[in-house]
Structure 1
Amino acid sequence: MNKMETHVVVIYPHPDDESFGAAGTITGFREQGVPVTYLCGTLGEMGRNMGTPPFANRETLPDIRNEELVNACNTLDIDLRQLGYRDKTIEFEDKQDVAKTLKRHLEELNPSLVVTHYPEYAIHPDHNALGAAAVEAVRLMDPETRPVVWAQAISNDYTKDLGEPDINNDITAHFERKMDAILAHQSQAKGVMTQFSESPSLSDDIFEAAKERLGMEEFYVWHFSE
Structure 2
Amino acid sequence: MSERPGLLVVRPGEDPVRSVLVVTAHPDDVDFGMAGTVATWTDAGVRVSYCVVTDGDAGGFDRSVPRREMPRIRRAEQQAAAKEVGVEEVVFLGYPDGRLAPSLELRRDISRVIRQVRPDRVVCQSPERSWSRIFTSHPDHLAAAEATVCAVYPDARNPFAHPELLEEEGLEPHVVRELWLMGTDQPDRVVDVTDQVERKLAALRCHASQHPDVAAMEERVRGWLATTAEAAGLPPGRAAEAFRAVQTG
Task: Tell me the TM-score normalised to structure 2 length.
Answer: 0.73
Q: 1:110: which partner in 2?
A: 118
Aligned residue pairs, count: 201
Q: 1:137: which partner in 2?
A: 151
**Residue 61 (1) aligns with residue 61 (2):** no
2-side partners of 1:222 and 1:113: how far apart?
Answer: 10
- Conserved? CA contact 1:56–1:64, under 8 Å: no
1-side partners of 2:19 and 2:33: how far apart?
Answer: 18
CA deviation vs aligned residue, 1:11-44 (integer Å, no higher than 9, x gap): 0011111111110010011001111100001111
- Conserved? CA contact 2:33–2:183, under 8 Å: no
Return the offset for 1:98: 1.3
- Conserved? CA contact 2:205–2:214, under 8 Å: no
Q: 2:224: which partner in 1?
A: 213
Map 1:32-71 → 2, pairs under 5 A: 32-50=44-62, 56-71=65-80
CA deviation vs aligned residue, 1:150-179 (integer Å, no higher than 9, x gap): 01125xxx3xxx4xx111112121001001
Report the residue type matching 1:134 in the other structure: T
Return the offset for 1:191: 4.1
Report the residue type matching 1:56 in the other structure: V
Q: Which 5+ residue runs of structure 1 have no aligned equivalent?
A: 197-206
CA gap of 1:45–1:138, structure 2 versus 1, over 3 A, is same
> What secondary structure is seen at the aligned counterpart in 1 of 2:224?
helix
Return the offset for 1:209: 4.7
Q: Pick from 179, 184, 190 the counterpart of residue 168 of structure 1.
A: 190
> What secondary structure is seen at the aligned counterpart in 2 of 1:222?
strand
Map 1:75-154 → 2, pairs under 5 A: 75-78=84-87, 79-91=89-101, 94=103, 96-121=104-129, 122-140=136-154, 141-142=156-157, 145-153=175-183
Q: Which 5+ residue runs of structure 2 have no aligned equivalent?
A: 1-9, 130-135, 159-173, 226-238
CA RMSD of aligned residues (A): 2.3
Task: Tell me the TM-score normalised to structure 1 length.
Answer: 0.80
